[in-house]
Amino acid sequence: MKRVAVYYPWIHLRSGVEHMILELLKRTQHRVTVFTSHLDYEHTFPEFRDVRDIVQLRRVSVRRSVNAVLAAALTIARQRLPLRNFDALLVSSEGLGDFITFRNRSVPTLCYCHSLVRPVYDPVYRASLIERRPHLRWSLPLFLPAYRALTRRAWRQYRHVFANSRVTREHILANRLCPADAVEVLHPGADLPRESARDYERFFLYAGRIKWTKNVELAVRSFLEFRARLADARPWSLVVAGEVDPTSRDYLQELEQLSGAGDGVVYRPNPSREELEALYARCYALVYPSLNEPWGIVPVEAMAYGRPVLAVNRGGPTESILDGVTGFLLDPGPAAFADRMVWLAENPDALRRLGAAAARRAGDFSWDTFVRRVDDCIESLG
């Protein structure tokens, strides 16, 4: 058994990253201490309150303004971890976390890369960001070259990199952050249903963070078009269930205005895990509208409940969803999504066939397999 330090800058949401850390802690054969620069017990998974070995460092902001990001990057780059009695450092990285390597080089360092910093490396995300914040059209390009240079320097310390998807691995290699033989794809796992799947009820589900980066408005517009075109007069609904952090309250209001009153769109902000599982177990299908998600754990969770998934044909869902077998990969427009929603509503036998295949597909993604591979890599370090 080795002693491992895990660093992630901010544990403050119930997102896939925090979920992954909890699964690692639950299953690893090594002794793990979690270090973080922002710990918010109120808004993250309640299980973190039971984690003994968790250390909060100098606090950084979770805001995403340019000034806040620069301040956080500087704090992280200056932070020295107490690694004297540790055998390895594992950085859970979405970008800024990489800078922890600048002053912490005394032990072998690994990276689990969820995504590169999306405003810097993802042109689809960057275009959407600038559309919402036009002032960044001029300031962001000034920031990008220095950030890329610092990232390349930080990545020199990684002995081995796990990428959560082939898409993420391709981004890493395209930006020459490390050699190809140092990067392997290791998909996150999926929770097996704790509740038995029920019959398909007459509602589509969006699950995940309710945030502009998730393109939730596409799910809403698609459902409204579906409702307008469906010949069946019986009521259908769209349930939008997910985390709403303080920075996303205005976005939720935008969605509520878009969907209008009495049009069948129901919002469930900040559901408990049990509430979300009940929605997975009862929904007709999952609508997953993110434009360029690096992986996306929500589609796999829905498939585990035997629910087909409608997703944009880009990014991580192209690796988890088998088009026409476990769901559909679609153009990012309401018409394409509405077409398939109508088709599913009119073909319940096909829906059940897709759902059965989806449940089988979800079995390919195991947390035990995930943690075992991380453990083996740590064990192999000198």
Task: List pLDDT tens digits, range 314-342.
Answer: 999 999 999 999 999 999 999 999 999 99
pLDDT score of 194 more than 90: no
Lowest mean pLDDT among 69-73, 154-158, 278-282: 69-73
pLDDT of residue 236: 95
**65 or 76: which carries more pLDDT confidence?**
76
Arithmetic mean of pLDDT, 42-66: 93
The pTM (predicted TM-score) of the whole model is 0.93
What is the band of 66 on the pLDDT scale with cuts at 50, 70, 90?
confident
What is the band of 11 on the pLDDT scale with cuts at 50, 70, 90?
very high
Arithmetic mean of pLDDT, 251-258: 95
Arithmetic mean of pLDDT, 226-245: 88
pLDDT of residue 322: 98
Retrieve residue 290's tokens. 């993110």
pLDDT score of 143 more than 90: no
pLDDT of residue 65: 80
Residue type, 50: D
pLDDT score of 263 more than 80: no
Closest CA to 69 of 99, 102, 91, 92: 99
Arithmetic mean of pLDDT, 113-131: 91
- Residue 184 to residue 186: CA distance in whole angstroms: 6
**335 or 246: which carries more pLDDT confidence?**
335
Arithmetic mean of pLDDT, 87-110: 96
What is the band of 231 on the pLDDT scale with cuts at 50, 70, 90?
confident
For the chain, give the percent of residues with pLDDT over 70: 99
pLDDT of residue 233: 62
pLDDT score of 69 more than 90: no
Q: Which H, E and C letters describe 153-219, residue by residue?
A: HHHCCEEEEEECCHHHHHHHHHCCCCCHHHEEECCCCCCCCCCCCCCCCCEEEEECCCCHHHCHHHH
Mean pLDDT of the chain: 94
pLDDT of residue 371: 97
Sketch out the chain's domains with CATH numbers.
Answer: 3-189+366-380 (3.40.50.2000), 203-362 (3.40.50.2000)
Closest CA to 120 of 164, 175, 178, 162: 175
- In sequence order, what are the residues at sequence separation of 6 or more whose Cβ sits closer than 8 angstroms to the Cβ of residue 92? 6, 7, 8, 17, 20, 21, 112, 114
